[in-house]
Amino acid sequence: MRRLACREKWVLGFLFVFLLGVIVIGCSNTVKRDEPVSSPPSQATSATPAPAPSSPPPPPETTSSRSVGKYYYIDDVLIPTDLEYDQKKSYVYETPQFKAGALYFTKWRVDMNSLFDFFLVHMERDGWKMVTNYRGKESHLTFYKPDRACTIRITESWMGKVTVEVRVGPADVKRK
Protein backbone atom coordinates (compact mmCIF):
# COMPACT_ATOMS: atom_id res chain seq x y z
CA MET A 1 0.00 0.00 0.00
CA ARG A 2 2.84 2.36 0.87
CA ARG A 3 4.53 1.68 -2.50
CA LEU A 4 1.36 2.62 -4.36
CA ALA A 5 1.06 5.93 -2.48
CA CYS A 6 4.71 6.75 -3.19
CA ARG A 7 4.28 5.97 -6.89
CA GLU A 8 1.16 8.18 -7.09
CA LYS A 9 3.04 11.08 -5.48
CA TRP A 10 5.89 10.62 -7.96
CA VAL A 11 3.48 10.61 -10.93
CA LEU A 12 1.65 13.69 -9.62
CA GLY A 13 4.97 15.49 -9.05
CA PHE A 14 6.14 14.67 -12.57
CA LEU A 15 2.82 15.82 -14.03
CA PHE A 16 3.04 19.11 -12.09
CA VAL A 17 6.59 19.80 -13.33
CA PHE A 18 5.60 18.95 -16.91
CA LEU A 19 2.56 21.25 -16.86
CA LEU A 20 4.61 24.04 -15.29
CA GLY A 21 7.18 23.67 -18.09
CA VAL A 22 4.47 23.84 -20.76
CA ILE A 23 3.05 27.01 -19.21
CA VAL A 24 6.48 28.67 -19.02
CA ILE A 25 7.28 27.79 -22.66
CA GLY A 26 3.89 29.08 -23.81
CA CYS A 27 4.27 32.36 -21.93
CA SER A 28 7.80 32.96 -23.17
CA ASN A 29 6.68 32.51 -26.80
CA THR A 30 3.79 34.91 -26.33
CA VAL A 31 6.12 37.60 -25.00
CA LYS A 32 8.53 37.21 -27.93
CA ARG A 33 5.71 37.49 -30.44
CA ASP A 34 4.69 40.87 -29.02
CA GLU A 35 8.16 42.41 -29.35
CA PRO A 36 8.63 45.05 -32.06
CA VAL A 37 10.02 43.64 -35.30
CA SER A 38 11.85 46.81 -36.29
CA SER A 39 14.99 46.16 -34.20
CA PRO A 40 17.56 44.20 -36.22
CA PRO A 41 18.84 40.97 -34.62
CA SER A 42 22.47 41.99 -35.18
CA GLN A 43 22.32 44.69 -32.50
CA ALA A 44 23.80 43.24 -29.35
CA THR A 45 22.43 44.09 -25.94
CA SER A 46 24.38 44.05 -22.71
CA ALA A 47 22.91 40.62 -21.86
CA THR A 48 24.05 39.11 -25.18
CA PRO A 49 27.58 37.71 -25.12
CA ALA A 50 29.99 38.87 -27.82
CA PRO A 51 30.80 36.27 -30.48
CA ALA A 52 33.99 34.29 -30.03
CA PRO A 53 36.97 35.66 -31.97
CA SER A 54 37.26 32.44 -34.00
CA SER A 55 33.61 32.47 -35.10
CA PRO A 56 32.68 33.96 -38.48
CA PRO A 57 31.19 37.45 -38.48
CA PRO A 58 27.40 37.76 -38.38
CA PRO A 59 25.70 37.77 -41.76
CA PRO A 60 25.41 41.00 -43.67
CA GLU A 61 21.79 41.97 -43.56
CA THR A 62 20.06 44.15 -46.06
CA THR A 63 16.61 45.31 -45.10
CA SER A 64 14.12 45.05 -47.91
CA SER A 65 12.29 48.18 -48.99
CA ARG A 66 9.11 46.27 -48.26
CA SER A 67 10.36 45.60 -44.68
CA VAL A 68 8.85 42.13 -44.69
CA GLY A 69 12.18 40.40 -44.91
CA LYS A 70 15.96 40.60 -45.06
CA TYR A 71 18.63 39.31 -47.40
CA TYR A 72 21.28 37.20 -45.63
CA TYR A 73 24.49 36.52 -47.63
CA ILE A 74 22.56 35.43 -50.75
CA ASP A 75 21.47 38.72 -52.29
CA ASP A 76 18.35 37.49 -54.07
CA VAL A 77 16.71 35.21 -51.48
CA LEU A 78 14.48 37.22 -49.15
CA ILE A 79 13.99 35.77 -45.64
CA PRO A 80 11.02 36.77 -43.43
CA THR A 81 12.03 39.09 -40.58
CA ASP A 82 10.40 36.82 -37.97
CA LEU A 83 12.88 34.00 -38.58
CA GLU A 84 16.04 33.78 -36.48
CA TYR A 85 19.32 33.07 -38.30
CA ASP A 86 21.20 29.97 -37.08
CA GLN A 87 24.85 30.89 -37.59
CA LYS A 88 26.21 27.59 -36.23
CA LYS A 89 24.48 25.45 -38.86
CA SER A 90 24.73 27.85 -41.82
CA TYR A 91 27.62 28.11 -44.25
CA VAL A 92 28.35 30.12 -47.39
CA TYR A 93 30.88 29.53 -50.14
CA GLU A 94 31.79 32.74 -51.92
CA THR A 95 33.94 33.60 -54.94
CA PRO A 96 34.09 36.91 -56.81
CA GLN A 97 31.63 35.54 -59.35
CA PHE A 98 29.40 33.30 -57.26
CA LYS A 99 27.83 32.64 -53.83
CA ALA A 100 26.48 29.30 -52.69
CA GLY A 101 25.66 27.67 -49.39
CA ALA A 102 23.03 26.65 -46.88
CA LEU A 103 21.30 29.07 -44.53
CA TYR A 104 19.26 27.84 -41.57
CA PHE A 105 16.54 29.76 -39.75
CA THR A 106 14.23 28.84 -36.89
CA LYS A 107 11.18 30.20 -35.12
CA TRP A 108 8.70 28.83 -32.63
CA ARG A 109 5.05 28.58 -33.63
CA VAL A 110 5.01 30.00 -37.15
CA ASP A 111 2.33 29.14 -39.68
CA MET A 112 4.05 26.91 -42.25
CA ASN A 113 1.53 27.79 -44.98
CA SER A 114 2.26 31.50 -44.65
CA LEU A 115 6.01 30.79 -44.88
CA PHE A 116 5.43 28.66 -47.96
CA ASP A 117 3.37 31.42 -49.59
CA PHE A 118 5.96 34.05 -48.63
CA PHE A 119 8.71 32.19 -50.46
CA LEU A 120 6.52 31.47 -53.49
CA VAL A 121 5.74 35.17 -53.95
CA HIS A 122 9.09 36.72 -53.07
CA MET A 123 11.34 34.27 -54.90
CA GLU A 124 9.50 34.98 -58.15
CA ARG A 125 9.78 38.73 -57.45
CA ASP A 126 13.54 38.27 -57.11
CA GLY A 127 13.76 36.64 -60.53
CA TRP A 128 13.64 32.95 -59.58
CA LYS A 129 11.51 30.51 -61.60
CA MET A 130 9.65 27.82 -59.66
CA VAL A 131 10.48 24.25 -60.71
CA THR A 132 8.60 22.17 -58.12
CA ASN A 133 6.91 22.55 -54.78
CA TYR A 134 4.87 20.50 -52.39
CA ARG A 135 3.22 21.16 -49.06
CA GLY A 136 2.93 18.78 -46.19
CA LYS A 137 4.36 18.09 -42.79
CA GLU A 138 7.63 18.85 -44.55
CA SER A 139 7.33 21.36 -47.41
CA HIS A 140 9.81 21.84 -50.26
CA LEU A 141 10.18 24.54 -52.90
CA THR A 142 12.69 24.39 -55.75
CA PHE A 143 13.60 27.41 -57.88
CA TYR A 144 16.16 28.06 -60.60
CA LYS A 145 17.95 30.83 -62.40
CA PRO A 146 20.07 30.28 -65.49
CA ASP A 147 23.25 29.73 -63.47
CA ARG A 148 22.02 28.35 -60.11
CA ALA A 149 19.29 26.58 -58.19
CA CYS A 150 17.66 27.14 -54.80
CA THR A 151 15.88 24.61 -52.61
CA ILE A 152 13.87 25.71 -49.58
CA ARG A 153 12.82 23.11 -47.02
CA ILE A 154 10.32 24.01 -44.27
CA THR A 155 9.81 21.58 -41.39
CA GLU A 156 8.05 21.71 -38.04
CA SER A 157 9.00 19.68 -34.98
CA TRP A 158 6.36 18.03 -32.84
CA MET A 159 6.83 20.80 -30.26
CA GLY A 160 6.14 23.60 -32.77
CA LYS A 161 9.64 24.75 -33.75
CA VAL A 162 9.75 25.59 -37.46
CA THR A 163 13.05 25.24 -39.31
CA VAL A 164 13.69 26.78 -42.73
CA GLU A 165 16.66 25.53 -44.72
CA VAL A 166 17.65 27.55 -47.79
CA ARG A 167 20.23 25.95 -50.10
CA VAL A 168 21.66 27.73 -53.12
CA GLY A 169 24.14 26.16 -55.50
CA PRO A 170 25.27 26.05 -59.11
CA ALA A 171 22.92 24.66 -61.73
CA ASP A 172 24.10 23.01 -64.89
CA VAL A 173 20.67 22.56 -66.43
CA LYS A 174 20.32 23.12 -70.15
CA ARG A 175 16.83 24.57 -70.70
CA LYS A 176 15.34 24.58 -74.20
Residue 172: CA atoms inside 13 Å, Cβ hemisphere, count?
Answer: 0
Burial classification of residue 65, based on how many CB atoms lie within 10 Å of its CB (0-12 exposed, 13-18 middle, 19 or more buried): exposed
* Residue 111 · residue 100 · CB < 8 Å: no
HSE-up (13 A, CA, CB side) for residue 141 = 25
What backbone phi and psi angles, to 5 degrees, belong to 147?
-110, -5
Q: Taking residues 68-93, what's their average pLDDT?
A: 92
The answer, as to whether pTM is greater than 0.95, is no
Lowest model confidence (mean pLDDT) among 44-48, 139-143, 160-164: 44-48
Residue 66: its pLDDT value, please?
Answer: 53
* Higher-scoring residue by pLDDT: 144, 2: 144
